């Protein structure tokens, strides 16, 4: 019963965090998609780092490495971590997706790759720290503000998105198992 309470809370929390124009229910007979609000946040973070790559100093060089790592990391998340979150409106409506086994496969992959994803967060943080050190000498205060956004994003992923996706997978396992019994 406890996972259902947690899932219900997460569904409520995430559904209330969207702008009104973004608050829509995705219909998908195929693979669910990463919620558009999360995709947009990834795009915005990458745009910020991309702008830093234009600096003609060592901060710009570090930003190039950081951008590459973040782009790879976000692609992994959008491939198998975040798509299950796109099911939240469907699950909140009491429906079971047709492709539950595929989604369970995604969440199983997330479970097996969780330490890898967290290690990538640490690598991103290390590059961010390096960029902060180098930017201090060249007066780039916008990098400090970006660091706050990036750290908050990683914290939300680790505290909410990753666990929510895992709970969705476990929920689907239980529901599909009881459906076939």
pLDDT for 129:
96
pLDDT for 8:
44
30 or 133, greater pLDDT: 133
CB atoms closer than 10 angstroms to residue 149: 13
Under the banding of pLDDT at 50, 70 and 90, the label for residue 180 is low
Residue 138, both tokens: 């060249």
Under the banding of pLDDT at 50, 70 and 90, the label for residue 12 is very low
pLDDT for 177:
82
pLDDT for 181:
60
**Distance, C-alpha 10 to centroid of its chain:** 14
Q: CA 64 to CA 52: how far, in whole Å?
A: 8
Q: CA 112 to CA 165: how far, in whole Å?
A: 13
Q: Which of 10-19, 25-34, 96-105, 107-116 has the lowest mean pLDDT?
A: 10-19
Q: Does residue 22 carry a pLDDT above 90?
A: no
CA angle 38/40/45 to nearest 5° reads: 95
């Amino acid at each position: 019963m406890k996972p259902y309470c947690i899932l219900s809370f997460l569904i409520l929390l995430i559904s209330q965090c969207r702008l009104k124009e973004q608050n829509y229910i995705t219909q998908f007979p195929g693979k669910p998609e990463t919620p558009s609000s999360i995709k947009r946040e990834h795009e915005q973070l990458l745009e910020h780092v991309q702008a830093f790559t234009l600096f003609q100093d060592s901060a710009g060089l570090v930003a190039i490495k950081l951008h590459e790592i973040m782009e790879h990391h976000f692609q992994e998340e959008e491939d198998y971590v975040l798509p299950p979150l796109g099911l939240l409106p469907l699950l909140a409506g009491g429906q079971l997706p047709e492709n539950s086994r595929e989604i369970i496969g995604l969440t199983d992959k997330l479970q097996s790759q969780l330490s890898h994803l967290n290690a990538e967060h640490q690598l991103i943080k290390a590059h961010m720290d390096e960029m902060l050190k180098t930017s201090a000498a060249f007066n780039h205060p916008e990098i400090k503000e970006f660091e706050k956004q990036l750290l908050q994003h990683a914290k939300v992923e680790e505290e909410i998105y990753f666990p929510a996706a895992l709970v969705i997978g476990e929920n689907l396992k239980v529901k599909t198992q009881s459906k076939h019994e």
